[in-house]
Amino acid sequence: MLKFAVCDDEKEVREYLSGRIYDTLAAEDLDGKVETFADGESLCALYESGKADFDLLLLDITMPGVDGLTAAKRIRAVDKDVMLVFVTASAEFVFSGYEVRAFRYLLKPDLVNGFAGVFRDCLKELTKADEVRFSFQAGAKTVWVPIKDILYFESDKRKILIHCVGERAYSFYGKLDAVEETLKRHDFVRCHQSFLINALKITSMGQGEVTLSDAVNVPVSKHRAKETNEAFLWALR
């Protein structure tokens, strides 16, 4: 799930941007959550407490108190990777964002027409195939794992085990059905009631099992063999 923050002192702008974000995510069949902030200080405080994990921030530059540029500098001190888009009433502030590596700008006078192109550029960057990540909750912490590193998921009662290349492993509480639904567009196939594998990691198909990278063998049930083989052949395209 992608996470977005909209920080603007104008309620109408916060509501407009949040609505457009949700509409675009729905059109792109992507999951996402938007949180709004009426001032820069509250957003900075969340980051400085270590509790923020947004993928994209939309920051108004000219807010009272802690403005967007000041907020961006404080946020960059603790998060060098989050994507920044400045929302500004005037183009005169555009060049101010270079020092905090702003990705794009939105001009308020052209918000209706300008939003779609800017936000789709952001989504394209965030969802690059080799950078797509799977996220899960480990207590109060959100953990992100690059999908390209995942070999397979294994269901063990209420716990899901994630097996990655290099024998790295993670675990969290959840349902394999939900994981399968999340990753259905990313070449993952359910080869067994208890296993969801990355078809791009298949090296060979055998009788009742599949071999993945790192010489890992995973069982394949009879009624899922055809689907698994098709996923393997599709991944070879």
* Phi-psi group of 187: left, alpha or beta (phi > 0 → left; psi -120 to 50 → alpha; rest → beta): left
**Predicted pLDDT at 151:** 96
Write down the residue that tokens 């010489």 correspond to: 215
The domain in which residue 23 lies consists of 2-127
Instruction: Answer yes or no: do 95 and 209 share one domain.
Output: no
- Please tell me the pTM assigned to this model: 0.56
Q: How many domains does the structure of the chain reveal?
A: 2
Q: In which band, very low, low, confident or very high, does the pLDDT at 96 lie, cut at 50, 70 and 90? A: low
pLDDT tens, position by position, 60-80: 988 899 988 899 999 988 888
Q: In which band, very low, low, confident or very high, does the pLDDT at 129 lie, cut at 50, 70 and 90? A: very low
Instruction: Answer yes or no: do 158 and 123 share one domain.
Output: no
Average pLDDT taken over every residue of the chain: 88
CA triple 184-189-193, angle to 5 deg: 115
187 Cβ neighbours under 8 A, 6+ residues apart:
198, 199, 200, 231, 234, 235
Alpha helices in 77-129 (DSSP H): 111-126
- Whichever domain contains 191, its CATH number is 2.40.50.1020
Domain boundary among 127, 162, 188: 127
Instruction: Answer yes or no: do 211 and 118 share one domain.
Output: no
